[in-house]
Amino acid sequence: MNQTQAIWIKDPVGIFADGAERGVVVKGGKIVELVPAGGTPTAAGMATFDASQHVVLPGLINTHHHFYQTLTRALPAAMDRELFPWLQALYPVWARLTPERLELGVTVAMSELLLSGCTTTTDHHYVFPSGLEDAVDIEVAVAKRLGMRVLLTRGSMNRSQRDGGLPPDSVVQDEDTILADSARVVAKHHQRGEEAMVQIALAPCSPFSVTTSLMRKTAELAEKLDVRLHTHLAETEDENKFCEQIHNCRPLDYLEQCGWLNSRTWLAHGIFFNAAEMKRLGRAGTTISHCACSNQLLASGCCPVCEMEEAGVGIGLGVDGSASNDASNLMQEVRAAFLLQRARYGVLKVSHKDALRWVTRGSAACVGRPELGEIAVGKAADLALYKLDDLRFSGHGDPVAAVVLCGAHRADRVMVAGKWAVIDGAIPGLDVPELIRRHSAAARAMQAG
C-alpha cells in the first residue's frame, strides 16, 4: 500500500470508537477522518479496504515482556514454582543465551504478538551473559524487519548470588558497563516524536537483582537522556519481605528513595501496594502494567486494578515473559485480564470495554505515547482487524464484545503506521514453519546445556 495515498477502512462490522460506524480514513501514517453512520469521506478518489467482515480495534499495546523466554516455555524444571524458585530454576538456562538464540526468541515473540493484533510492544531484556552484549541491537533489527513499533528496555542486573541476590554471576554485569551501554543504545536507537518506531527505556530488573547505586544512577541517566524507566515492583509478598529485610522499607518507599516515583516510570505487576501507596502512585503519575496470565500461572496474586484506577493510577496490559504465561498473545491477555478482574470486582465494575481500554489507551500511557491506542483524528494509524468467522464466534450479538468474550486470538489484518504488517492472518515474507523449526532446535539445545 502506498502510504501517501489515503485509504478508507470501510464499513467494519464493529469498531472500538465513537462516530466511526462507517470506518476510518488513514493517510501518511495517521488517522485523518472518522466516517460516521450514513456518512462518506470528505475527500474523493481514495483507495478502500472492505472491512465489512472485520471488527476494528486500535492497535494493541504490550507493556511488559521478556522476549528471550520463548526459548523456555513450559520447562519442566520451572513448572509449579512460585517466582523466586522459578527464577532460580531458569537463570542457569538463560545464561546459555547466544546472539543467534536471542534473535530467534525475539522473532518468535514479536511475530506472535503481531499476529494477535499487537502493534506496539515493549521488551524487558536484562540477561547479558558473555557474548550477548549487543542484545538490544539484535532486538531493534528484528523489529525493523517485522515493521513493528517498539519500546525496548535496556535491562540490567548487578546483584548476583555472591552479593545476596538471586541470579548467578554469569548473567550480571558491573554498574559501569551497564550505564555505558545504556547511554550507547539510547544514542544509537532512540527515536523521538509521534512517528517514532523504535524507542529505548532503561530498566534495572528488580529490587532483588540490582544495587541501590545502580537504581539511583539509572534514574539520573534516564532524566539526563529523557527516556522512560521500567522495573518489576510489588509482584510478590517475598519481594516485599526482601525489601523490608535488606532496605528497611517497603518496595514503593525504596523506589521513591532511588528517584523513581514519577511520571517517567511504569512498573510491572503492582500487586501488593496498599491504599496509601496507590494514592502516591496516582499523584506521581507512575503507571502499572497488569500481567494477568503470568500472575495466575505463578500464583503471585491479582493486581487491584479498580482500586488503582480510583486512586488515579493508569493501567496497561502486558503478556510478561513467555516462560510465565506461556504465550505472547496479547489478545488472549485482554480476555484473561477481563475475566480475572470481573471475578474480583463483579459485573457492574468491569466490562469488556474496560479490558480493551487497558490494552489501548491505558497501555499508551504506560509507554508515554498518547498518539497511540485510540481511533481518533490525528492519532497514529495503528489498527488491528479481526474476522468473526470461527466457530467460537457463531451466534454472537455485539461484535466488539465478541472479540473479547468469545476469545479472539488471531488478527486477520494489522496496520502499523499506515502500513499492513499482517495480511490475511500472516506476516508477509515470514516462513513460520522454518522459524518454528529453528527456534525449537535452539530451545532444545539451550535447555540441554
Q: What is the CATH number of the domain that holds 42?
A: 2.30.40.10
Residues 342, 416 within the same domain: no
Residues 160, 172 within the same domain: yes
DSSP 46-115: -EEEE-TTEEEEEPEEE----GGGGGGTT-GGGTT--HHHHHHHHHHHHTT--HHHHHHHHHHHHHHHHH
Going from the C-alpha of 26 to that of each of 37, 331, 396, the distances in angstroms are 18, 23, 29
Q: Give the per-residue pLDDT at 3.
A: 60
Residues 43, 192 within the same domain: no
Ranges assigned E (strand) in 216-327: 229-233, 265-269, 287-290, 315-317
Q: Give the per-residue pLDDT at 2.
A: 52
Say how many domains are in the chain: 2
* Separation between Cα atoms, residue 33 and residue 426, nearest integer Å: 27
Last residue of a domain, one of 340, 366, 392: 366
Residues 297, 354 within the same domain: yes
Ranges assigned E (strand) in 328-395: 383-387
Q: Is residue 431 part of a domain?
A: no
Q: Give the per-residue pLDDT at 208.
A: 83
Ranges assigned E (strand) in 285-443: 287-290, 315-317, 383-387, 413-416, 419-422
Q: Is residue 149 part of a domain?
A: yes
Q: Is residue 429 part of a domain?
A: no
Q: Is residue 433 part of a domain?
A: no
C-alpha cell at position 364: 499508551
C-alpha cell at position 269: 505487576
Residues 192, 318 within the same domain: yes
* Separation between Cα atoms, residue 323 and residue 100, nearest integer Å: 19
* Separation between Cα atoms, residue 273 and residue 122, nearest integer Å: 23
Output the domain CATH number for residue 340.
Answer: 3.20.20.140
Name the residue among 352, 366, 375, 440 with its Cα closest to residue 72: 440
Residues 138, 173 within the same domain: yes
Q: Is residue 385 part of a domain?
A: yes
Q: Give the per-residue pLDDT at 165.
A: 78
Using CB atoms within 10 Å of the CB of residue 4, give its burial: 0 to 12 exposed, 13 to 18 middle, 19+ buried.
exposed
Going from the C-alpha of 303 to that of each of 50, 213, 299, 306, the distances in angstroms are 40, 29, 12, 9
Last residue of a domain, one of 302, 336, 366: 366
Residues 73, 144 within the same domain: yes
Residues 302, 381 within the same domain: no
The 8-class DSSP code of residue 362 comes to I
Q: Is residue 125 part of a domain?
A: yes
Q: Is residue 434 part of a domain?
A: no
Residues 147, 270 within the same domain: yes
Last residue of a domain, one of 325, 350, 366: 366
Does this model's pTM top 0.75? My answer is yes
The 8-class DSSP code of residue 426 comes to B
Q: How far apart are the first and last CA of the chain?
A: 45
Give kind and range of the element (H or E) at residue 184.
helix 175-189
Q: Give the domain range for residue 120.
A: 60-366
The residue behind cell 502510504 is 3
* Separation between Cα atoms, residue 59 and residue 433, nearest integer Å: 26
Residues 278, 226 within the same domain: yes
Residues 156, 289 within the same domain: yes
Helix/strand/coil for 447: helix
Q: Is residue 447 part of a domain?
A: no
Residues 308, 177 within the same domain: yes
- The answer to whether the CB of 290 falls within 8 A of the CB of 305 is yes
Strand order in the sheet with 7-10: 30-34, 23-27, 7-10, 47-50
Dihedral angle sign, alpha carbons of residues 282, 331, 325, 66: negative
Report mean pLDDT in 10-residue bins for the chain, 449 residues: 81 98 98 98 94 98 98 96 92 96 98 98 97 97 98 96 84 96 98 98 93 97 98 92 91 97 98 97 98 96 98 98 94 98 98 98 98 98 98 98 98 98 98 98 95
Backbone angles phi, psi at 186, to 5 degrees: -65, -50
